Amino acid sequence: MSEQASSFPTTQHADDTSISHWHMRAVRADLLFRATDAPVRAAIEDILRDELFEPKEGLTAVGSARLSYDRAHFMVTQLRARSVDVAQALRALFLLHELVAPVDGTACTVLAIHFCLAIGSIVAMGQDKPELRSILAELLEMRSVGVFLATELGYGNSVMSLETTARYDRETDEFILNSPSAKSLKFMPNTAFPAPKIAVVMAKLLSEGRDCGVFPFVVRLRDVEGQLLPGISVTPLSEKPAYALDNGITAFKNVRILRNHWLSGPESEINEHGKFHSRIASRRGRFLAAMDRVQTGRVCFTSAAVALLRSATWIATRYASQRLVSAPNGRDVPILGYRNVQADLFRALAEAYALTFAVRELQDSFVQSSHDSHTFNLVAIFKATVTERVGELLPKLRERCGAVGMLSTNRIIDYWVYIQGIITAEGDNQLMLLKIGRSLLDTPDGADPADVPPTFDGSDPRSLLELARYRELRLRRLLRQQIAFSRGHCRDPLVIWNQNVSGVMELARAFGTRLITEKYYEAHTCLDANVRDLTLPLFQLWAMNEVTTHAAWFLAEGCISHNTYRALPEQTEHLLGKIESSLDVLLDGLGVSNESLRAPIADDYLQHYEKLFASGS
Ligand SMILES: Cc1cc2nc3c(=O)[nH]c(=O)nc-3n(C[C@H](O)[C@H](O)[C@H](O)COP(=O)(O)OP(=O)(O)OC[C@H]3O[C@@H](n4cnc5c(N)ncnc54)[C@H](O)[C@@H]3O)c2cc1C
């Protein structure tokens, strides 16, 4: 965080801000961010200050893609020069996403697919085969870009049923890759831009006429000149607004793959007699093992999503602090002085804190053990709930900036497009919610929901925690009853599912909210008393918003009285005022700097646009 950021006027604040800033820096270093990450953070931030990352306008779609590929390549070579190995260190990989996403979303996705999915799959399932070592070295130096081809025209979320085939040819001891149907065309991977590219392709392994399940195969797509190799064809898909990723349609015709370019994992093999064997009994199990690296991608993109929210909140608030409008008392005041503006900005600020605490928990769990069931659930639920929440807030932040919020250089509108991609890719949010909701139904309740519902007390942070736990348990119990009722009246599983699908998603969201609340509460109680006082109104505002969102449900359950309900707007208004008085410090906590973002409205916007006008371009 630069000093420039913390000294920018956001609002009138108490005289003792320097002490508060000092306390806040301690929070930022230890809780919102990790002190041990500081050297890697500094290295990536330094690289992002290079002029290559200056915003460029008027580029064609291909020109924009080229710029993002150049930036991704530059980032990798610079990090290598500084001995930062993001392929080996998960924390460095998470940081890379958090810092690159707000500057260039396309470059961030290129890097995510390259490291998480392509390199990650080869390392995890390549068995350290000598034939793969040179390919790995090529990817680590980014002499070729790694891509990942799973989705097909006919199979998105149902990708397990994909149709691309890799037939084992015993005579040559190779596999032959084909796209046998229109539905099997690989759809969406970033194959269109003509850079050197090596793909990890998901295909159905056929051996002796038998379908052995889906496996990854390493296939060189484009040579050192970026030219497609024989048997491979790619057609670019149409453009996406503000997102230059070169998504394409890719097909294979009799492409030969060496035996050792099959990423078999430790459990599967084809023996010297050409017989396939796997210690993973089911095809579903083999598919899940093959797609395992998507988990890392989910953590990285969830981290990126929260970073987008931190940056957008910071940019919008700094703009709101300098944009003047006339007030009823005849004076000009910044729009930040109005409660309607504060309501959206401070809600985003509170959410940025809540989700940052949540994502730190997710990262810590993943680093400790990426495969236990607790982490598995955390990855799925945080990917879905965190990115959904960020997706809801970004348009509000854009709106509060007015016209300048529409400009790409001011970032927020581009973030909103980017978050749409994150919501769909690496596990569609709705599908993740359904999966988690379903698994929650089978999980024992532990303690029964209390017969007497907890009562919400806005001044006590613990009371939100109790409410969140109660809501999750109660929804689960009600849903079980509802499903039992449906089953008693109908035999068609689809009808039964459809009668309960919204309840399943609601339960999953309640689970996500409970986890986020727990993390926020835990972080809050760990704080130094001075900082806790400072950040308490933010937590209370967050709590107030959660209660308001489900106020009807809480009223019906008796968790809030009519009087509490009626008092919610007034209490919210009171909290906005408190947050306003320490906003400068709270904003500082987000750890954002305009040195890499370069958003004109986050600095002196009048001067910027005046200069732009004077220059005529
Ligand atoms: C920017 C971007 C980059 C991508 N990059 C890659 C890449 O590099 N490699 C790659 O392989 N793929 C890539 N993809 C594809 C991505 O993995 C798929 O988009 C994703 O798996 C979802 O599939 P789909 O888009 O076909 O959605 P669909 O499967 O058609 O789902 C659309 C909607 O239908 C509903 N739905 C679907 N199935 C069910 C169900 N069983 N029950 C209830 N509702 C359902 C849900 O509401 C869902 O949101 C990328 C996508 C995007 C957006």
Q: Which domains does the chain have, with CATH numbers?
A: 147-270+281-286 (2.40.110.10)
Q: What is the pLDDT of residue 6?
A: 39
Ligand 1 contact, 421 CB (< 6 A)? yes
Backbone angles phi, psi at 224, to 5 degrees: -60, -25
Single pTM value for the model: 0.95
* Structure-token pair, residue 309: 């929210």
Residue with tokens 């060496």: 258
Ligand 1 site-directed mutation target among 431, 494, 499, 502, most atoms within 8 Å of CB: 431
Q: What is the pLDDT of residue 7?
A: 41
- DSSP string computed for 353-408: HHHHHHHHHHHHHHHH-SSSHHHHHHHHHHHHHHHHHHHHHHHHHHHHTGGGGGSG
Q: What is the pLDDT of residue 581?
A: 92
Q: How far apart are CA 196 and CA 41, in angstroms?
A: 29
Ligand 1 contact, 554 CB (< 6 A)? no
* Structure-token pair, residue 596: 């890499």
Q: What is the pLDDT of residue 529?
A: 82
Q: What is the pLDDT of residue 450?
A: 59
Q: What is the pLDDT of residue 459?
A: 85
Residue 45: count of CB within 10 angstroms of its CB: 17
DSSP class of residue 267?
Answer: T
Ligand 1 contact, 188 CB (< 6 A)? yes
Ligand 1 contact, 458 CB (< 6 A)? no
Q: What is the pLDDT of residue 27?
A: 67
Q: From ligand 1's centre to the CA of 379, what distance in Å?
A: 18
Q: What are the C-alpha distances in Å from 160 to residues 41, 78, 370?
A: 37, 38, 22
In this structure, the residue with its CA closest to atom 31 of ligand 1 is 157
Q: What is the pLDDT of residue 318?
A: 98
Q: What is the pLDDT of residue 611?
A: 96
In this structure, the residue with its CA closest to atom 8 of ligand 1 is 189
Plot region of 89 (φ>0 → left; ψ -120 to 50 → alpha; else → beta): beta
Ligand 1 contact, 157 CB (< 6 A)? yes
Ligand 1 site-directed mutation target among 109, 145, 157, most atoms within 8 Å of CB: 157
Q: What is the pLDDT of residue 528?
A: 80
Ligand 1 contact, 505 CB (< 6 A)? no
Chunked into runs of 10 residues, the chain (617 residues) has average pLDDT values of 42 55 68 85 97 95 97 98 94 97 98 97 93 96 98 96 97 97 98 98 96 97 98 96 95 97 96 93 94 95 98 98 92 95 98 96 92 90 98 98 98 97 95 95 70 82 92 94 95 95 97 96 86 90 95 94 93 96 90 96 97 91
